[in-house]
Amino acid sequence: MKVCPVENLDCEPTTEATVEFSLDGKPLLTFMEFFRIIAQDETLVENYRVVLEDSKGVVQLESVSPFFSRLRSQGASKFKILFDPIQIDNKLAYLDLFFSKKKLWPGEEKKIMYQLAVDEGNLGFVQFYSTKDSGLDVQKIFTRVKDVTQTIDRVTGKQHLPYSIFIMPAPISHLLGGEGNFYLGEGKITMNYGEVLTVDCIGMCAVLRMIENEISHEYTHAIQSERGPQKWPDPKLPTDSCFYEGMADALTVYLGYNEQQKLLEATTYAEGCPKSIMQINNMPHNFGRCLFGHLMQENAFSEDFFKRLFNPEMKYLFEDACDVSLAQTCQKYLELFNWASGRDLTRVLKENIKGNCK
Ligand SMILES: [Zn+2]
């Protein structure tokens, strides 16, 4: 590492750090987004650039705050970060591997080696990527995936959907956008479990919990998409996403795969569940959680409730599932929830959710 002396600030130094990814000994192309460059001085954030050592792929840097930039990559395995030209010592700026205790300081070189474990059977196919020294018990992870998906099959009363699941740590998470947990259609699910360079960073128990959190949600989307009856609205319509996201989170909370808090924190708005709460994190999830969170507070959840929701007898098409100020939407929700719960939930829909039901 070369650093300019204070008396000669024009010495044009280049301070470098490199990071390289490999899988089973071969270069691993990364598709990642949560690769943060953090500085304790805002002038530093403008003073670095990233080049690709292997000249493959593309990178994109986005300044999120004066102290933090995000690096996205598509298809590169080796990066060189140039801190250039600044008076820097290694306490001032570093590259942060998301969720990790490992940091890449200027002047450092880091090689991160991953390995791949595969599980294939009649339920589906799982690929699990981990660092070589992670200490994670891969068999336990595969077993937990089976348990979660089979429990959802049973409670929703649906035929199992053969899956292809790709579980990856953040730096090599194969998808840009969102946090890397997606249902991509035809049983394909991706999951980002953060970064576990060594098991003591996060721990086996936490990884299993993340499997429950994320796979349960995405597999529920798979069931919604591929096992939905004709009577369901189209899960791919953005206006119905609020309903499907809420339904997925509600089921996973009911099954104990997510904390109740996930739903409860969306029920605290004085205005009930207005469409505008979608703008929080720009996600339909928040509206869906609000809606189902209020039902949970009324103890409307049961195994029968979910079985009915997933196997409706009536057709439910919402004018806009994210907007209960529309009388049609509110009325459809009321009909559906009353039928699924076997109760009269008019008061919840009108007073708590503040929907425009009759
Ligand atoms: Zn979702």
Residue 232 lies in a domain: no
Is position 358 within any domain? no
Report the pLDDT value the prediction gives residue 1, as an integer from 0 to 100: 39
CA distance 182 to 214: 9
Return the pLDDT at 174: 52
State the pLDDT at residue 328.
Answer: 93
Nearest C-alpha neighbor of 291 from the set 343, 349, 213, 248 = 349
The reply to whether 346 and 301 lie within a common domain is yes
- What's the 111 CA to ligand 1 centre distance in angstroms? 34
**Helices 241-254, 138-156: inter-axial angle, 10-degree rounding:** 110
Q: CB burial class (10 A; 0-12, 13-18, 19+) of residue 200? A: exposed
- Of the three residues 52, 80, 107, the one that is the final residue of a domain is 107
Å from CA of 17 to ligand 1 middle: 37
Please report the pLDDT score of residue 215 as a whole number: 96
Query: In angstroms, what is the span from residue 131 Cα to ligand 1's centroid?
Result: 27
264 and 158, same structural domain?
no
Residue 212 CA to ligand 1 centre (angstroms):
14
> Looking at residue 12, what is its pLDDT?
57
End of a domain among 107, 124, 145?
A: 107
Q: How far is the CA of 358 from the centre of ligand 1 (A)?
A: 30
Q: How far apart are CA 152 and CA 355, in angstroms?
A: 30
Q: What is the CATH number of the domain that holds 132?
A: 3.30.2010.30
Q: How many domains does the chain have?
A: 3
- Are residue 103 and residue 119 in the same domain, yes or no? no
Q: Which residues of the chain have pLDDT under 50?
A: 1-5, 13, 85-88, 90-91, 98-99, 176, 197-201
Gap from CA of 75 to ligand 1 centroid (Å): 26
285 Cα to the center of ligand 1, angstroms: 7
What pLDDT is attached to residue 86? 47
Assess whether 336 and 262 both reside in one domain. yes
What range does the domain containing 162 cover?
A: 115-227
Whether residue 60 lies inside any domain: the answer is yes
Residue 24 is predicted with a pLDDT of 81
Which pLDDT score, from 0 to 100, does residue 199 have? 46
Residue 123 and residue 222 share a domain: yes
Task: Tell me, in angstroms, the distance from the centre of ligand 1 to residue 309's CA.
Answer: 17
Whole-prediction pTM value? 0.76
Closest CA to 39 of 11, 16, 67, 17: 67
Q: In angstroms, what is the span from residue 37 Cα to ligand 1's centroid?
A: 28
Same domain, 348 and 281: yes
Please answer whether residues 248 and 217 qualify as being in contact, where contact means their C-beta atoms are separated by less than 8 angstroms. Answer: yes
Residues 6+ apart with CB under 8 A from 209: none
Indicate whether 82 and 125 sit together in one domain: no
**What pLDDT shows up at residue 87?**
47
C-alpha 258 – ligand 1 centre gap (Å)? 13
Beta bridge partners of 183: 189
In a domain, 156, yes or no: yes
CA of 219 from ligand 1 middle (Å) equals 9
Distance CA(59)–CA(74), nearest Å, equals: 6
> Taking Cα atoms as reference points, which of 310, 332, 262 lies closest to residue 290?
262
Provide the pLDDT for residue 159.
Answer: 94
- Given this model, what pLDDT does residue 252 score? 97
Question: Are residues 303 and 287 part of one domain?
Answer: yes
Supply the pLDDT for residue 135: 82
245 & 331 share domain: yes
User: What distance in angstroms lies between residue 203's CA and the mean position of ligand 1's atoms?
Assistant: 25
* Cα–ligand 1 centroid distance for 160 (angstroms): 19
